[in-house]
Amino acid sequence: MPVILRFNPLSEPYSMARYTVRQLYLIAAILSASSIGCDVAVDQFPANEVFSLTLARTRSVPADAARNDANEVVTSLFGTPDEPQWPSEWLDNEGLAGLVNAEYLSRAAGAVSSEEDGTHLGLFREHCVTCHGVAGDGAGPASATQNPYPRDFRHGVFKWKSTERGDKPTRDDLVSLLKHGVPGTGMPAFTLLANDDIEALTDYVIYLSVRGEFERRLMAAAIDQLDYEESAPDEEAKLTVEQGTEGSEVVRDVLNRVVRGWGQAQASEVPSTYRELEGEPLRESVLRGDKIFHGPIANCVGCHGPGGNGQAVTLDYDDWAKEYSTRLGLDPNDRDAMRPFRKAGALRPRPVQPRNLQLGVFRGGSEPETLYRRITEGIAGTPMPAVAVVEEPNGLGLTDDQIWDLVRYLRAAPAADQRSVSGKNVSDEGEQP
Ligand code: HEC
Ligand code: HEC
For residue 383, cis peptide bond before it (omega within 30 degrees of 0): no
Give the model confidence (pLDDT) of 226-263 as tens digits. Answer: 999 999 999 999 999 999 999 999 999 999 999 999 99
Atom of ligand 1 nearest to the CA of 380: 27
The closest ligand to the CA of 398 turns out to be 2
Residue 107 has pLDDT above 80, yes or no: yes
Q: Which CATH number fits the domain that encloses residue 306?
A: 1.10.760.10
What average pLDDT does the segment 273-286 reach? 95
Whether 334 is in a domain gets the answer: no
pLDDT at residue 20, rounded to an integer: 52
The rounded distance, in Å, linking the Cα atoms of 141 and 138 is: 9
Task: Give yes or no: residues 244 and 370 share one domain.
Answer: no
Share of the chain above pLDDT 70, in %: 86
Whether 157 is in a domain gets the answer: yes
Task: Give yes or no: residues 191 and 215 share one domain.
Answer: yes
What is the distance in A from the centroid of ligand 2 to the CA of 298? 11
Q: Is the Cβ–Cβ distance between 169 and 158 less than 8 Å?
A: yes
Task: Give yes or no: residues 211 and 98 share one domain.
Answer: yes
The closest ligand to the CA of 161 turns out to be 1
Whether 78 is in a domain gets the answer: yes
Task: Give yes or no: residues 261 and 133 share one domain.
Answer: yes
Task: Give yes or no: residues 223 and 361 share one domain.
Answer: no
Residues 6+ apart with CB under 8 A from 323: 51, 54
CA 204 to chain centroid, in Å, comes to: 15
Cross-strand bridge partners of residue 114: 120
Show which of 265, 290, 305 is a domain's final residue.
265
Task: Give yes or no: residues 181 and 280 share one domain.
Answer: no
Q: Is the Cβ–Cβ distance between 215 and 48 less than 8 Å?
A: yes
Per the structure, the complete domain to which residue 360 belongs is given by 271-314+353-430
Say whether pTM exceeds 0.85. Answer: yes
What is the distance in A from the centroid of ligand 1 to the CA of 187? 4
The closest ligand to the CA of 179 turns out to be 1
CA 364 to chain centroid, in Å, comes to: 10
Show which of 265, 291, 323 is a domain's final residue.
265
Substitution site in 38, 179, 182, 317 for ligand 1 pocket (most atoms within 8 Å of beta carbon) = 182
Give the model confidence (pLDDT) of 20-51 as tens digits. Answer: 555 555 555 545 444 454 555 678 999 999 99
Q: Which of 219, 253, 225 lies closest to 237 in space, CA to CA?
A: 225
Ligand 1 within 6 A of 159 CB? yes
pLDDT at residue 141, rounded to an integer: 96
pLDDT at residue 100, rounded to an integer: 96
Whether 346 is in a domain gets the answer: no
What is the distance in A from the centroid of ligand 1 to the CA of 120? 20
Q: Is the Cβ–Cβ distance between 107 and 121 less than 8 Å?
A: yes
Task: Give yes or no: residues 203 and 303 share one domain.
Answer: no
Task: Give yes or no: residues 404 and 379 share one domain.
Answer: yes
Whether 8 is in a domain gets the answer: no
Task: Give yes or no: residues 259 and 292 share one domain.
Answer: no
Whether 336 is in a domain gets the answer: no
Whether 88 is in a domain gets the answer: yes
